[in-house]
Amino acid sequence: MTMELTKKQRTIKYVLYCAMLLVANLLQNTGGLFPSVFSAHCLLLIPLAVTLAMHEGELEAGLLGLFAGLMWDLVSADHLGFNSIFLTLCCVFAAYAAGHWIRSVYLTDLVMCILFSVLYCFLYWLLFLVIFENDKNYASLWTFYLPSAVYTAVMSAAVVFFTRLIRKKALQKLNPNG
| pLDDT tens, N- to C-terminus, the chain (178 residues) | 345 878 888 888 889 999 999 999 998 888 777 777 787 888 889 999 999 998 888 999 999 999 999 989 888 777 778 899 999 999 999 999 988 888 878 888 899 999 999 999 889 888 877 766 655 667 777 878 888 899 899 999 999 999 888 888 887 777 776 5
Tell me, what's the pLDDT at 1?
Answer: 38
Output b/e per residue, 94-118; b: 16+ Cβ within 10 A. Answer: bbbebeeeeebeeebbbebbbbbbb
Count of all residues that appear for the chain in the document: 178
Q: What is the pTM of this model?
A: 0.87
Q: Are 128 and 81 in contact (CB under 8 A)?
A: no
